[in-house]
Amino acid sequence: MSIQLGLTGENDLKKLPYASTQVSPEHSKADIEHLLKINGIQDMQWTTLNGQTELKFLWKVIVKGVERKIAFSFVPPTVERQKRQSGYGLVKITDDRIAFRILFYYLKSKLEAVKFGLETMEQEFMAHIIVSLPDGTRTSVGQQLEEAIEIGRVENTFALPEPKQRKIDPEKVIDVG
């Protein structure tokens, strides 16, 4: 997700959610890790590749009496804004302070919705579950559904491929009758 704002002055910047935060991205990451730990999530990982940071974590859940680990993926939004810089005019900058604060409060609200019974874990986090596709690629349920909507193939998105038809050789059929 990318948030692009044409904010130029200090008054405009104040309109942006969490714009006044002085919390560094690193501190927000630590806050997110703490939030996950107090909600029983111990296995987590931050990865930055080609300038995009991703949070992945495993959540242990009980499904029909069996403990399962479900993998989730979250990417902080890209918050871009314009800033007046002397000699250059308006320049576009990304603001990771705001982006990671947004992710912190987003996860906090989702976890609270589950904790207080407003939603189930599955309902609240479904789009972020990591799945493996038949070709071996890994994606999230939300990304897969988004792509299916774009090409108009929602009904087949999560269907298993049809089983291969076996040809029956009549010479190998034994009648025990």
Domain count, the chain: 1
More confident residue, 64 or 91: 64
β-pair type (78-85, 2-5) = parallel
Of the candidate ranges 29-33, 43-47, 93-97, 158-162, the one whose mean pLDDT is the lowest: 158-162
Asked, for residue 23, whether it belongs to a domain, the answer is yes
Summarize pLDDT for 122-166 with one digit per residue, the tens.
889 999 999 888 888 888 888 888 888 888 777 666 655 566 666
- Which tens digits make up the pLDDT trace of 105-119? 999 999 999 999 999
pLDDT at 153: 75
The rounded distance, in Å, linking the Cα atoms of 59 and 69 is 5
Flag whether 111 is in a domain. Answer: yes
Residues 75/78/79/81 CA torsion (nearest 10 deg): 170
- Are 76 and 100 in contact, with CB atoms under 8 Å apart? yes
166 in a structural domain: no
Contact 82, 95 (CB under 8 A): no
Tell me if 156 sits within 8 A of 149, measured CB to CB.
no
- pLDDT (0 to 100) of residue 2: 44
157: in domain? no
Per-residue pLDDT band for 174 (boundaries 50, 70, 90) equals low
DSSP class of residue 172?
G
Rounded to 10 degrees, what is the CA torsion of 90, 75, 40, 158?
A: 150
Confidence at residue 160, expressed as pLDDT on a 0 to 100 scale: 53
Q: Is 168 a member of any domain? A: no
Give how far the C-alpha of residue 38 lies from the chain's centroid of Cα atoms, to the nearest Å: 20
In a domain, 142, yes or no: no
Q: Tell me, yes or no, whether 32 lies in a domain.
A: yes
The two tokens of residue 23 are: 């919390």
Structure token pair of residue 69: 């680990």
Task: Give the pLDDT score at 37.
Answer: 96
Its domain, for residue 107, covers 2-125
Q: What percent of the chain has pLDDT over 90?
A: 41
Residue 79 lies in a domain: yes
Share of the chain above pLDDT 70, in %: 78
- pLDDT of residue 19 exceeding 70: yes
